[in-house]
Structure 1
Amino acid sequence: VNLNVTPFQKRPYIEITLTNAQNEEIATTSIVEPLSWNLELTMHIRGEHHSPYTLTARLYYPEGPTAEPVQYVLDVNPPQPDPRPDTP
Structure 2
Amino acid sequence: MPSPTSDPAALFAASGSCSTKTDNTAVTYKPPIDPILRLPEVLEIVRVGRTTLLKMVKDGTFPAPLSLTARIRGWRLSAIQNFLDSLEGK
Q: TM-score, normalised by structure 1?
A: 0.22
Q: Which has the higher contact order (CA 8 A, sep 6+)?
A: 1
**Larger CA Rg, structure 1 vs 2:** 2
| Structure holding more helix per residue | 2
Q: TM-score, normalised by structure 2?
A: 0.22
| Structure holding more strand per residue | 1
